Amino acid sequence: MRLLSPLPLGIALRYALSHKAHKFAFFVAVMSALGIAIGVCALITVSAVMQGLQDRLKGSVLDTTAQVVVQIKDGETVKQLAALPEVIALMPYLEGEVLLQSSSGLKLASLQGYDPQGLVLTQYLNASNSAAGGGSETQDNVEFKSALPLPPAAGSYALIAPQSFMLENLLSYGTKVRLISTKNARYTPLGLTPTQRIFTIESSAALPQPHGGLTLIGSLTDVKRLLRERSDYVRLFLSDPFLIDKLAPKLEALGLNFTDWRSSQGDFFKAVALEKLSMSVMLCLIILVASFNILAALTMLVSARVREIAVLKSLGCSSRRILLIFMLQGLLCAGAGVILGTALGIPLTLNVQTLLSLFGIQIVQGELPVALNLSQIVFTALGCLTLAALCTLYPALKAGRCDPAVHLTEL
């Protein structure tokens, strides 16, 4: 067999492919490669599915949840908010807690009011701060996608209620309910008197129900009258809701009062991220065990070939080259596992819904979301190779320290 050039790679390939002399060490190395392949395949698939679930939840929950609500001081505040790179749109908005009284009883609800006519796209506002004459025309040319339903007309005192709430309480369109608010309540001779008003359920929509609560949507004008709110607020739409960690310090630096989605949905998404992390850690343990098997296989190989190492050293092969030979052998084993795991993991991820349907398994409603990320695959592969390289250090150093004078005298 002709050795490849450079010499360490040729010897490493020869040791890796020769299994007749040391069958058990070869078997352990093969099992290690298969273990790494299984771990990489599972890690790619699970990470893609968990990322897809996180993206779907982010889209379904945070698109209809107020991402950031800022109290407006003056007109200059709107320009300052529009200049922030994370913000893509602003809209007049108000939210408050109310008590809903219906035929089914009392229930605490979150009442939201907004005005789509006041929607401002930041790309337009940054491009022109002149008169609003051509502003609406420019904005009409830009399509702003939002999952928010259109609110009822101002002065109608109508509501949009969640579909699930109407089904549970057997409510129909046109049902009148009473909303009671203690915000900005007034003192009268009878004591503290809350504000109350009769509203009509006009339509229904798929609205988020955080922590089992109830969300209602009304006209901004009607909501302001019920809550007796004089301050103006705007709702910020972000290019990515997870950019709030970068945006919050900027809003604090501007001295603005604001609330964001983390107060209502933060714990939920932290739990999702923690579950994703825990799954990745458990799968990484499979790769870790397989990497330790590479260490065991190389240690047995070094102990069995100590005389051959002594011969190589006596022929002028340096300790550095000996070290490189056994590190390359371990990396070849790990590389084979990474390539096999990646080759299996990517098709498995892309066809996971087909496989689940084949076995009649349904995890979520609709198709299982999958977000295959190239950077995640590269990071997984490099992480496995790095871990394998660390596991090859001990047997490779042991081989490099071999003393030819000691071992050749035993021949």
Could you read off the pLDDT of 248-284 as tens digits, one per residue? 999 999 888 999 998 888 888 888 889 888 988 888 8
Residue 167 is which amino acid? Answer: L
210 and 301, same domain (yes or no)? no
Helix ranges restricted to H, 150-305: 163-168, 220-227, 244-253, 262-304
Rounded Cα–Cα distance for residues 293 and 27 (Å):
10
115 and 256, same domain (yes or no)? yes
310 and 332, same domain (yes or no)? yes
193 and 86, same domain (yes or no)? yes
Domain end residue (candidates: 215, 240, 260): 260
For the residues 148-159, what does the mean pLDDT come to? 89
98 and 232, same domain (yes or no)? yes
| Total-model pTM | 0.74
28 and 102, same domain (yes or no)? no
- Give the residue from 79, 25, 3, 20 showing the smallest Cα distance to 333: 25
300 and 226, same domain (yes or no)? no
| Interval 351-398: pLDDT, tens | 888 888 887 777 766 778 888 888 989 999 999 999 988 988 888 888
Q: Domain limits at 326?
A: 7-59+270-408
The torsion defined by the Cα of 70, 74, 75 and 81, in degrees rounded to 10, comes to -30
- Peptide bond before 404: cis, by omega within 30 degrees of 0? no
Distances (CA, A) of 409 to 134, 309, 405, 406: 94, 13, 6, 6
Number of domains in the chain: 2
More confident: 41 or 407:
41
Domain end residue (candidates: 233, 260, 287): 260
Reported confidence tier of residue 137, pLDDT bands at 50, 70, 90: very low
- Give the residue from 312, 293, 264 showing the smallest Cα distance to 33: 293
Q: What is the overall mean pLDDT for the chain? A: 82
More confident: 295 or 125:
295
Question: Does 376 reside within a domain?
Answer: yes
| Interval 232-242: pLDDT, tens | 899 999 888 89
For the residues 174-202, what does the mean pLDDT come to? 85
Question: Does 137 reside within a domain?
Answer: yes
Residue 358 CB neighbours (<10 A): 9
Task: Please say if the pLDDT value at position 19 is more than 70.
Answer: no
54 and 82, same domain (yes or no)? no
113 and 148, same domain (yes or no)? yes
Distances (CA, A) of 284 to 3, 314, 350: 35, 41, 21
Determine the 3-state secondary structure of 179 from DSSP: strand
88 and 231, same domain (yes or no)? yes
93 and 54, same domain (yes or no)? no
169 and 45, same domain (yes or no)? no
Question: Does 11 reside within a domain?
Answer: yes
Reported confidence tier of residue 133, pLDDT bands at 50, 70, 90: very low
| Interval 396-409: pLDDT, tens | 888 877 777 666 66
Question: Does 265 reside within a domain?
Answer: no
